[in-house]
């Protein structure tokens, strides 16, 4: 019996996907509506994503305009943005909120790079944990006589190859984000 490497590969792909989504939420000086994706607003007692209750558009490279469909929710959206770790104070004109992203300072740039590196390490740890789970499964199958030693070694090698592939992908995403940070 061979280990179902597809199952573990899917888990690794999900870890990469989650890492990519987390990278999108990092503010790097350019207006990007995805920085708002994790901010939830109390809307009639229900936590609601901003993009589900307002039009979110980028008017230029440094400005996002949030126009709520329900004008009464403007204050709640503003409070949620202020309470978040976004670090930008919205300008409220009574109809919409404007978020103006300042140019990154050298200090902030280094801070963001550290944050990206930390998130990259967390993604790598998640992938390595998946590898450990797969290897533990191989050992259990071998111990129960459901797998030969050769099959165990082959399965562990397959899992290690997958691990190496996805670790390289994390490194590539991290390098790409670092390049984006330095370009601003």
**pLDDT tens sequence across 105-114:** 888 788 888 9
CATH number at residue 122: 1.10.132.20
CA separation (Å) from 87 to 56, 64, 152? 18, 14, 50
CA separation (Å) from 102 to 28, 87, 154, 157? 9, 10, 52, 48
Q: What integer pLDDT is reported at residue 27 of this predicted model?
A: 65
Domain boundary among 100, 115, 150: 100
Nearest in space to 130 (alpha carbons), one of 42, 17, 5 = 5
- Verify that 60 and 150 share a domain, yes or no: no
**pLDDT tens sequence across 33-72:** 888 888 899 888 889 999 899 999 988 888 999 999 988 8
Domain boundary among 41, 67, 100: 100
CATH number at residue 46: 3.30.1360.40
CA 147 – CA 45 distance, rounded (Å): 53
Say which residue, 121 or 30, is predicted with more confidence.
121
Domain span at 132:
5-24+105-183
Instruction: Name the packing angle between helices 5-24 and 149-183 (round to 10°).
Output: 10
How many Cα atoms occupy the beta-carbon half-sphere of 153 within 13 Å?
3
Say whether pLDDT at 102 is over 90: no
Structure tokens at 136: 């533990």
pTM for this predicted structure: 0.72
Cross-strand partners of 40: 49
- Verify that 125 and 142 share a domain, yes or no: yes
Say whether pLDDT at 129 is over 80: yes
Structure tokens at 121: 């390490």
Cross-strand partners of 91: 98
CA 84 – CA 40 distance, rounded (Å): 9
- Verify that 135 and 112 share a domain, yes or no: yes
- Verify that 91 and 62 share a domain, yes or no: yes
| Residue 116 binned pLDDT confidence (cut-offs 50, 70, 90) | very high
**pLDDT tens sequence across 71-96:** 889 999 999 999 887 778 899 998 99
Q: What integer pLDDT is reported at residue 17 of this predicted model?
A: 94
Q: Is there a contact between 91 and 98 (Cβ–Cβ < 8 Å)? A: yes
**pLDDT tens sequence across 140-172:** 998 988 888 899 999 999 999 999 999 999 999
| Residue 1 binned pLDDT confidence (cut-offs 50, 70, 90) | low
Q: Is 163 helix (H, G, I), strand (E, B) or coil?
A: helix
- Verify that 114 and 179 share a domain, yes or no: yes
Say whether pLDDT at 184 is over 70: no
Number of structural domains the chain divides into: 2
């Amino acid at each position: 019996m061979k280990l179902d490497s597809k199952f573990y590969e899917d888990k690794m792909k999900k870890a990469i996907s989650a890492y990519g989504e987390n990278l999108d939420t990092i503010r790097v000086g350019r207006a990007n509506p995805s920085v708002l994706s994790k901010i939830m607003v109390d809307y009639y007692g229900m936590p609601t994503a901003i993009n589900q209750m307002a039009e979110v558009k980028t008017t230029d490279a440094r400005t996002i305009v949030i126009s709520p469909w329900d004008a009464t929710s403007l204050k709640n959206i503003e409070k949620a943005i202020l309470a978040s770790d976004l670090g930008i104070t919205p300008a409220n004109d009574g109809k919409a909120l404007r978020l103006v992203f300042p140019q990154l300072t050298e200090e902030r740039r280094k801070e963001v790079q550290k944050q990206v590196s930390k998130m990259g390490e967390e993604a790598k740890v998640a992938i390595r944990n998946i590898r450990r789970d797969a290897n533990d499964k191989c050992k259990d199958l071998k111990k129960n006589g459901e797998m030969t030693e050769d099959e165990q070694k082959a399965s562990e090698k397959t899992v290690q190859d997958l691990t190496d592939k996805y670790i390289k992908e994390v490194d590539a995403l991290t390098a790409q984000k670092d390049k984006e940070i330095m370009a601003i």
